[in-house]
Amino acid sequence: KAGVTQTPRYLIKTRGQQVTLSCSPISGHRSVSWYQQTPGQGLQFLFEYFSETQRNKGNFPGRFSGRQFSNSRSEMNVSTLELGDSALYLCASSLALGAGDTQYFGPGTRLTVL
Amino acid sequence: DQQVKQNSPSLSVQEGRISILNCDYTNSMFDYFLWYKKYPAEGPTFLISISSIKDKNEDGRFTVFLNKSAKHLSLHIVPSQPGDSAVYFCAAKGGNTPLVFGKGTRLSVIA
């Protein structure tokens, strides 16, 4: 079974631009979560989707948004990019949102903002 | 407020010996705990998990121990191998709340 895929793998943008990242979950998984990882930090939770609905949102500004499609694929968008948005953005999928549902991660998208 | 803490940023262990990685949590609502391993420029890889109804779970060389009264869990790797060198993240969740991660421990296994 194919794993979680993320596109693109690398991205370079300039301040003020916007960016869209894509995530395809493992087949059959209906939940997708997004995380930001910066140097020295753990994984910071961005948002979580299940059945096209945002179920949880982390403590990030409104410039960060996301959505999930009917085929469970998900996108996240960052508008008006800032230098501090440079990070590894990770997507994870799980069967559902239950307590025992393990999240499986994709390889990430490395975003560099110049 | 860090709900999941990994107080050791790094750990060095000799090949063949035991590696013990520790994790503490503060939220008593957490009932499912996971360990992930991460290499640079890759996504975290799921290693092992444990539910709060258990106090131990084994999978090959990896064993996770959970002490609910102390709000502490640990990951034991026996025997440690050079390929185990990576950053290890502890994570926890309760019900439908998001997964909360610690900041990671960098394990170096020296041949």
Average pLDDT of the residues of chain B: 94
pLDDT mean over B41-47: 91
Look at A43 and B44 and tell me if their CB atoms are within 8 Å.
yes
CA distances from B6 to B31, B51, B85, B105, B106 (A): 18, 19, 17, 7, 10
What A107-110 contacts at long range (C-beta under 8 Å, 24+ apart), as own/partner pairs, is: A107/A4, A107/A5, A107/A6, A107/A9, A107/B41, A107/B42, A107/B43, A108/A6, A108/A9, A108/A37, A108/B41, A108/B42, A108/B43, A109/A6, A109/A7, A109/A8, A109/A9, A109/A10, A109/A11, A109/A21, A110/A9, A110/A10, A110/A11, A110/B41
Instruction: Confirm or reject contact between A104 and chain B (CB < 8 A).
Output: yes
Q: What is the pLDDT of residue A99?
A: 66
Q: What is the pLDDT of residue A97?
A: 74
Q: Which two tokens stand for residue B107?
A: 């394990």
Look at B43 and A33 and tell me if their CB atoms are within 8 Å.
no
* d(C-alpha B81, C-alpha A23), whole Å: 33
How close A81 comes to chain B (CA, Å)? 21
Q: Least CA distance to B35: which residue of chain A?
A: A102
Look at A56 and B97 and tell me if their CB atoms are within 8 Å.
yes
Cβ neighbours for B64, distance < 8 A, ≥ 6 positions apart: B33, B35, B48, B49, B50, B56, B57, B73, B74, B75, B76
pLDDT band at B77, cuts 50/70/90? very high
* d(C-alpha A93, C-alpha A106), whole Å: 8
* d(C-alpha B73, C-alpha A82), whole Å: 37
pLDDT at B42 over 90: no
Could you report the per-residue pLDDT of A55-67, keeping only the tens digit for each? 999 999 999 999 9
